[in-house]
Amino acid sequence: MVSHLLQLGLYQLFFLNLAPHAAVHETVALAKRCVSPPEARFLNAALRAACHDQATATALLWRQRETQPWVPWSHPQWLWERWVARWGQEPTERLCEWNNQPPAVYARLNTLKATQPPDGLPLEATSCPLCWRVTDGAVFFRSAAWQKGMFYAQDPSTLIAVDMLDPQPGESVLDLCAAPGGKTTYLAQKMQNKGRIIAMDSSRARLGRVNENCRRLGVEIVVTLAGDGTRLARCLCGTTFDRVLVDAPCSNTGVLRRRPDLRWRLQEAEIARLAAIQGNLLATAARLTRPGGVLVYSTCSLETEENERVAERFRDSHPEFALETTRSTFPPRDGMDGAFVARFRRG
Q: Are both 147 and 63 inside the same structural domain? A: no
The model's confidence at residue 266, banded by pLDDT at 50, 70 and 90, is: very high
Which strands make up the sheet holding 106-109, listed edge to edge?
Answer: 123-125, 131-134, 106-109, 151-153
Q: Are both 251 and 341 inside the same structural domain? A: yes
Report d(CA 108, CA 125) in Å as an integer: 11
- Segment holding 316, helix H or strand E: helix 308-317
Cα–Cα nearest to 107, from 117, 115, 120:
117
Per-residue confidence (pLDDT) for residue 63, from 0 to 100: 66
The model's confidence at residue 138, banded by pLDDT at 50, 70 and 90, is: very high
Q: Are both 236 and 298 inside the same structural domain? A: yes
Does residue 91 register a pLDDT over 90? yes
Does residue 31 register a pLDDT over 60? yes
- The neighbour count for residue 286, using CB atoms within 10 Å, is 19
Q: Are both 187 and 116 inside the same structural domain? A: no
Tell me which of 65 and 182 has the higher pLDDT: 182
Q: Are both 26 and 159 inside the same structural domain? A: no
Q: Are both 13 and 122 inside the same structural domain? A: no
φ and ψ at residue 184, rounded to 5 degrees = -60, -50
Report d(CA 313, CA 74) in Å as an integer: 34
pTM: 0.85
CB 141 within 8 A of CB 101: no
> What's the rounded mean pLDDT across residues 202-221?
93
Q: Are strands 131-134 and 196-201 parallel, antiparallel or unpaired?
A: unpaired
φ and ψ at residue 247, rounded to 5 degrees = -90, 90
Whether a cis peptide bond, with omega within 30° of 0, leads into 76 is no
Does residue 233 register a pLDDT over 60? no
Q: Are both 255 and 322 inside the same structural domain? A: yes
Q: How many domains does the chain have?
A: 4
List the single range of 60-69, 134-143, 147-156 with lowest mean pLDDT. Answer: 60-69
CA end-to-end span of the chain: 61
Does residue 231 register a pLDDT over 90? no
Q: Are both 209 and 336 inside the same structural domain? A: yes
pLDDT above 90 covers a percentage of the chain that reads 72
Q: Are both 166 and 307 inside the same structural domain? A: yes
> What's the rounded mean pLDDT across residues 273-302?
96
CB 346 within 8 A of CB 321: yes
> What's the rounded mean pLDDT across residues 236-240?
80
Which domain does 171 fall in, by range? Answer: 155-346
Q: Which residues contact 90 (CB under 8 A, 6 or more apart)?
A: none
Q: Which residues are catalytic?
A: 300
Per-residue confidence (pLDDT) for residue 103, from 0 to 100: 95
Q: Are both 81 and 61 inside the same structural domain? A: no
pLDDT in tens, 40-89: 898 888 888 888 776 666 666 666 666 788 888 889 999 999 999 999 99
CB 327 within 8 A of CB 275: no
Tell me which of 229 and 286 has the higher pLDDT: 286
Q: Are both 192 and 92 inside the same structural domain? A: no
How far are the Cα atoms of 266, 281, 298, 325 from residue 306, in angstroms, in the given order?
A: 14, 12, 9, 16
Q: Are both 146 and 176 inside the same structural domain? A: no
- CATH of residue 313's domain is 3.40.50.150
Tell me which of 190 and 1 has the higher pLDDT: 190
List the single range of 24-28, 33-37, 59-63, 234-238 with lowest mean pLDDT. Answer: 59-63
